[in-house]
Amino acid sequence: MTRPFRRRILYIPGFDPIPPRRYRELYRREAARQAAISGYRIAMVPHRVSGGFGWRAEGAFPEGQGEARFEVLVWDDLVQASMRRGIAGTYRQLVATAWAYIGSGALFRLMRLRRGPVLAALYPIAVLLAQAIAALLVAVATGWLSWRLAGPWLALPLAALAGWAVLAGFRRIDNRIFAYYLMHDYAFTAQHGGAYPDALETRLAQFADRLAAALADDVDEVLVTGHSSGAYLAVSLLADLIRAGRLPANGPALALLSLGHVVPMASFLPRADRLRADLAYLSERPDIFWLDVTAPGDACCFGLCDPVAVTGVAGPYQRWPLVVSAAFTQTLSPETRRSLKGRWFRLHFQYLCAFDRPGDYDYFAITTGPVPLSRRFAGRAHSPGRIARPVGPGTAP
């Protein structure tokens, strides 16, 4: 019996405070859906990851058998810690983040790429300011009425209490509005001007150890997958490992799959020198394969924007990434698109979900199937509409 194709997948989530088990359950549900649509089989099997969290899947495809072991490289604790801000702290973040993007000119550079992610970045600012205005109006009205009915001694404290109650009420329903969540997300990126905070650098070093261990395993391919802001962390992870000489000469194939990236939100900031250098370095490496998948229909990502080229760090020997569109208008049925209309976060996670009309991008065939990423996309050209004009602040080292 032929040995199944073996793959290790290290998955880096975006800015997500939810524990990693949600990704296992998402994979379980959506893999079953995609298998039924595409005519292959995928089964989840029990699996424990020493010192981490993951799962195992086995698949039967027309091309053969595949076996995949997944590990989520967790940083949700860092996300949760950064979100422990009260109402006043979040408004201070708003001011600091707005200044980081506007004062540096990054916002105006970003506006030359895609409107969707820029509007997504402006959304929490607009909503939080609207909430502050509503709270102020309620406070003024309460203060005026209290002055008329109870005199000046109660007017000010009652006005402040009423205004604060409005802000607290909005905070309690943020699981439907997402203004605070998005504000924390952009503030985390902007807090050091695009430089990684020390805690994140420490976590990336730990991720590099996990990746080195995977590359020493008896597998055919190691696939690092980064979604949303996890995409640029994946870039830095691979760059760190290769620079340190930890890529074995006769080890498994190493591939990077970046999904729904928001790289310019970080790489356009003035102190993102580390990320810009990582992008330039990785884009020229002959010992990896890097596929970047986005979709213009995903308003939360920089659809079809080459993260290296638009940052301005593409050198004369750039070979990566291969920029491919998930083409939601073609790969999702009209009924599915209608059901997802206005659900921007769900669309941003579509790369990890089943497609009604899958094209050459199939997350489950890529991760559990028996064909390595480099062979699956061998000879594939960039999708039409790829944006490669350099508008970022970077220069290739």
Looking at residue 361, what DSSP letter applies? -
- Quick one: pLDDT band at residue 148, thresholds 50, 70, 90? low
Looking at residue 355, what DSSP letter applies? -
Cα distance between residue 209 and residue 117, in whole Å = 33
Using a pLDDT cut of 90, give the percent of the chain over it.
Answer: 78
Using a pLDDT cut of 70, give the percent of the chain over it.
Answer: 97
Mutual orientation of helices 273-282 and 230-243 as an angle, nearest 10°? 70
Q: Which helix (H) or strand (E) holds 276?
A: helix 273-282
Query: What topology is assigned to 5-77+197-376 in CATH?
Result: Rossmann fold (3.40.50)
Which pLDDT does position 151 carry in this prediction? 64
Domain boundaries of the chain, sorted by first residue: 5-77+197-376, 85-190
The average pLDDT across 37-61 equals 88
- Over residues 164-209, the pLDDT tens digits come to 899 899 999 988 888 899 999 999 999 899 999 999 999 999 999 9
Assess contact for 326 and 361: CB atoms under 8 A. Answer: yes
Retrieve residue 257's tokens: 């799959």
Q: Which of 64-73, 116-125, 136-145 has the highest mean pLDDT?
A: 64-73
Least confident window among 138-147, 248-257, 350-359: 138-147
The DSSP result for 154-216, as a single string, is: HHHHHHHHHHHHHHHHHHHTHHHH-HHHHHHHHHHHHTTTTPPPHHHHHHHHHHHHHHHHHHT
The average pLDDT across 299-321 equals 95
| Pairing relationship of beta strands 64-72 and 53-61 according to DSSP bridges | antiparallel
Which pLDDT does position 396 carry in this prediction? 41
Assess contact for 396 and 315: CB atoms under 8 A. Answer: yes
Which pLDDT does position 222 carry in this prediction? 98
Q: Which helix (H) or strand (E) holds 57?
A: strand 53-61
Q: Which helix (H) or strand (E) holds 243?
A: helix 230-243
- Over residues 344-366, the pLDDT tens digits come to 889 999 999 999 999 899 999 99
